[in-house]
């Protein structure tokens, strides 16, 4: 169980480190998760991108 939690946390950290800044920048420019997925070729799942976008929007409130 602990290994699964650690692996998920590590995965989230690396995704955010590699792509989080760019995705947050695009959200600030008005991009939606759908538009980011269509226009950019990030090697992330739809779910990961949507999660980043939603999390960032919630953090700005």
- Decide: 32 and 6 in contact? Cβ < 8 Å: no
Average pLDDT over every residue of 41-58: 96
Average pLDDT over every residue of 25-49: 97
Q: How far is CA 61 from CA 26, 33, 35, 57, 58, in A?
A: 17, 18, 22, 7, 6
Q: What is the pTM of this model?
A: 0.85
Q: Is the pLDDT of residue 37 over 90?
A: yes
Q: What is the pLDDT of residue 3?
A: 84
- Residue 20 belongs to what domain range? 2-59
- The structural domain count of the chain equals 1
Q: What is the pLDDT of residue 23?
A: 97
Q: Is the pLDDT of residue 1 over 60?
A: no
């Amino acid at each position: 169980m602990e290994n699964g939690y650690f692996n998920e946390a590590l995965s989230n950290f690396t995704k955010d480190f590699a792509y989080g800044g760019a995705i947050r920048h695009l959200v600030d420019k008005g991009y939606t998760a759908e538009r980011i997925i269509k226009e950019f070729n990030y090697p992330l799942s739809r779910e990961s991108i949507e999660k980043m976008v939603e999390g960032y929007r919630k953090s700005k409130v």
